[in-house]
Amino acid sequence: MSFVFVSQEAITMEVQKLAWEIRQRRGVLGLTQQDVGVGLGAVYGTIISQTTICRFEAGELSLDNMVKLMPKIETFLELHEKKGGIGESALNPPTTVRKKTRTVFPSETIQFLEGEYRRCKLPNKEDLDRIAGMTGLEKKVSFTSTLPITASRETLS
């Protein structure tokens, strides 16, 4: 009986090479990292975040996590290539992850809100109603918009 010793470094390099090949396959199939994460959720019951897929492809996950995730992603991509292995609804589940939209204000609105903040640092309900009415913004948006940048970040976290 003979034993073959393989270094941890060799295993890591091989796993990273396979992760790169998986990334290439995903690109050829026209799938985003988000598509893969949501698709894994449809197939295996747990959605994997886009960040995790990105870290997997870059080889930034631990070796154990890379080894656990690799067969699932490979199977998903194979099923997606065949399109017959799993239903179309599993490949494109109805529950998609919504992206947050960034609110962009016209410069006139920003100037008005800055003026309101200088006038009153902590507006009451009536002030917020007035500001919302004058700008056409929702009261919640008016409140966070009248706070200075650092305060609005602290309020939202």
Q: What percentage of the chain has pLDDT greater than the value 90?
A: 6
Handedness of CA 73, 45, 33, 35 (dihedral sign): positive
**How far is the C-alpha of 14 from the C-alpha of 93, rounded, in Å?**
32
Which tens digit of pLDDT belongs to each residue from 89-125? 445 544 555 556 666 778 888 888 888 888 888 888 8
**How far is the C-alpha of 108 from the C-alpha of 130, rounded, in Å?**
16
* CA–CA distances in Å: residue 123 to residues 23, 34, 118: 51, 40, 11
* Residue ranges in 98-148 assigned as alpha helix (H): 107-119, 125-135, 139-146
Report, in this order, helix, strand and coil percent for the chain, each rounded to 5. Answer: 70, 0, 30
Contact 53, 37 (CB under 8 A): yes
pLDDT at 52: 92
Which tens digit of pLDDT belongs to each residue from 22-55? 889 888 888 889 988 888 888 888 888 999 999 9
Higher pLDDT, 66 or 5: 66
Contact 128, 142 (CB under 8 A): yes
**How far is the C-alpha of 36 from the C-alpha of 48, rounded, in Å?**
8
pTM of the model: 0.51
